[in-house]
Amino acid sequence: MSAKEFGQPQPTKIDKLVEDAVRYCHQRSPEALDSIFDNLPAALNKQVVTGIVAAFQGDINTLSWFCGYMASEINRSEDNHKPHHPITELSKTLIKSGMEAFTDFMPYPGCRIVILNPEKFESLPEEVQAVVQQAFNVTEQSQEQAQRINDALMQELTVTEE
């Protein structure tokens, strides 16, 4: 052990996974991100996502790209060359308008986005709300309905070991 390492906390498995995931996001490599997310239990995936979001505070472009990836718009590296990703662009608009990804809104597989903070969304300028309503079929749901949908989506995303 070198003197430089002495007394320094060693990175945890999650720290290393987050570091790799952040690098893959910068590289716009969905296949590499899949290699992380497809091989971890849901609880660890959540920790990695939290670390990624924290790392990209202030980097709207990369965080928006990650939202597109999470919503399944970007599945292969070739997708990065497509001119338009609605979730990615919408995420960028919402973030620039003051909403926080994964706190105020959440991308979901199937090219969906869920507004988690309707009060904050309703306080956005009308033109931003109009962009969302033009891009997507906006439906209002009760907290219970939203929770059932969330639970069903999480069950879809959870990989069980056999």
Structure tokens of 56?
Answer: 């990209």
Q: Do 85 and 55 touch, CB atoms closer than 8 A?
A: no
Surface-to-core class of residue 32, CB atoms within 10 Å of its CB (0-12 exposed, 13-18 middle, 19+ buried)? middle
Domain residue extents for the chain: 13-157
Mean pLDDT in runs of 10 for the chain (162 residues)?
A: 64 91 96 92 89 94 94 88 85 93 86 85 91 72 68 58 47
pLDDT for the residue numbered 162: 46
pLDDT for the residue numbered 91: 92
Q: Where are the alpha helices (DSSP H) in the chain?
A: 13-26, 30-37, 42-55, 60-70, 86-96, 118-122, 126-135, 143-157
Pairing of strands 105-108, 112-115: antiparallel
pLDDT for the residue numbered 5: 63
